[in-house]
Chains A and B, each alone.
Chain A
Amino acid sequence: MRCRRAQRWMVATVDGELAPRRRRMLEGHVASCPECRRDLAGTGAVLERVAGLGMECEVPSRLEQATLRRIRLLAAAEEERTAARGWWTVFRAPALALATAAVAIAAVVLTRGAGDRLPVASRVVGQRRVAAEALARERSRMVASREGGAVRVAKNIPAEPPPELAAAPELFMELPILRNLEKLEHFEAIRTTTLDDGGAQSNG
């Protein structure tokens, strides 16, 4: 497996959503690649800290768009640099961390005027959450779309919903449940499943 593919699968594996076969491939690669190991640890730490933040707040859609645009630019620039200079991959993890920090700072600066009524802490936390989510989204976008996280951002609802949405709005309200129906139906059985020989499982 190449580092690039490993990078793409990291978010999914941190979320426990990577298929067992891919997870084993990723684990195999990470075991032999110190750069990806470091990157995986960094990804896990970022997502863990972001998910650990208990506060959410709505952000203007313009801010979201601006943030995503900025992340895309940063990602494109990083990709270009990586392609141009192989040795640059050594600095991939720090660059990613810097990009995250830059986006978080940009988000704070951009909304200072728009959301003055919100407590500063709320704003920062919310924007960090959006930034980290966008970062995760951007990384996964390179390969395939993956399920969105729990981030709440303001979206403009159209005055008239699309026919599909108007026909069965509750289908879409229940979408997360439908996507995890099997897990939720057997929730207790799964929770009580033991992982005593988990090491053997993850390698087998």
Chain B
Amino acid sequence: MKRVGFILLLVCVLGGTAVRAQQPPSRPWHELSPEEQQRAWENYQRYQQLPEHKQRSLGERYQRFQALPPQEQQRLRQNYETYRGFDPGQKQEFGQKYRRWKSQR
């Protein structure tokens, strides 16, 4: 019984390592392209204007986002691009739907 437990634990550890290994490592600043640096810098300035609790919340979300499998991260990026492509009317409608959806949860 102990042996089975040990094997299961080993499988979990190795499995977790394999999943983490699939995720691209976080790139340092100097490896970002100029466009990426520009984007990060602009967003950093916006971030600085946020209250502390929101900054903390974003840090937590970042941890959560990083823990997601690459396919899921890609899906979220695609969804964001779709959202960005919305015209103002569509954005407004999406906002209404979001509030409705949230109230129904």
Contacts and interface: CB of A to CB of B under 8 A. Distances in A.
A174 B101 contact: no
Interface of A is mostly: helix
B89 A178 contact: no
Interface stretch (B1-9, B10-18, B90-98): B90-98
Given A162-B44, A187-B79, A190-B94, A171 B59 contact: yes
A34 interface: no
A181 B64 contact: yes
Instruction: Give the secondary structure class of B's interface.
Output: helix
B36 A173 contact: yes
Contact of B42 (A14, A145, A155, A185): A155
B39 interface: yes
How large, as a class, is the contact surface on chain A?
Answer: 35 or more
A176 interface: yes
A165 B80 contact: no
Contact of B82 (A172, A177, A187): A187
A169 B29 contact: yes
Interface of B: 26-29, 32, 36-47, 49-50, 58-59, 61-62, 64-65, 76-77, 79-80, 82-84, 87-89, 91-101, 103-104
Interface of A: 14-17, 20, 44, 47-48, 51-52, 145, 147-148, 150, 155, 157-158, 161-162, 164-166, 168-181, 183-187, 189-191, 193, 195, 198, 201-202
